Amino acid sequence: MSRITYEEALARARRIRLIAMDVDGALTDGRIIYSSGGRETKCFHVRDGYGIALAIHRGLKIVWISGRQSQITTDRAAELGVTHVIQGRFDKLEVLTNLAGELDVALDEVAFIGDDVIDNAAIAACGLGVAVADAHPDTLAAARWVTTHPGGKGAVRELVDLVLKARA
């Protein structure tokens, strides 16, 4: 897919009503750390979180779709007010299509941000398909727009800021 400029991304972002995202690798830096007791930890960036809370406050719908099941993801989503969290699903486009239909949002009104090949179909199908800066090469190729920030380090906030700027 051909890459678009920031200005073209901004124009597409004017139509966005729903921002969907992968969790591990887009909303986090992709690392999952297990303690010796088997406890899982992840690192979420506070600016991404604030951006998500701001987007919700400004009327955007937020969806998290993860291939993994994690209580930490559930807890972080609840803390931010994200009510649409789907975990343990690899068919992200199917999940997104169904949920967008339930929410009465067309796919061209959706931005999806991801980092790996599991995200490619959703990225390609949305009005604004985004890859984080450090995404897998095939995911970078599938995306229309690529953030300057890597996953878990402000990439989601960068997308949220783009959409909010376009809506202003």
* Residue 46 maps to a domain: yes
Closest CA to 164 of 3, 63, 12, 13: 13
Q: What is the CATH number of the domain that holds 132?
A: 3.40.50.1000
In a domain, 148, yes or no: yes
Question: What pLDDT score was predicted for residue 71?
Answer: 94
Q: How far apart are CA 40 and CA 69, in angstroms?
A: 11
Q: Is residue 1 part of a domain?
A: no
pLDDT in tens, 104-163: 999 999 999 999 999 999 999 999 999 999 999 999 999 999 999 999 999 999 999 999
- Give a yes or no: residue 25 inside a domain: yes
Q: Quote the domain boundaries for residue 63.
A: 6-167
Instruction: With respect to residue 16, please indicate whether it lies within any of the assigned structural domains.
Output: yes
Number of domains in the chain: 1
Q: Is 18 inside any structural domain?
A: yes
pTM: 0.95
C-alpha span between 2 and 141 (Å, rounded): 8
Q: Is residue 54 assigned to a domain?
A: yes
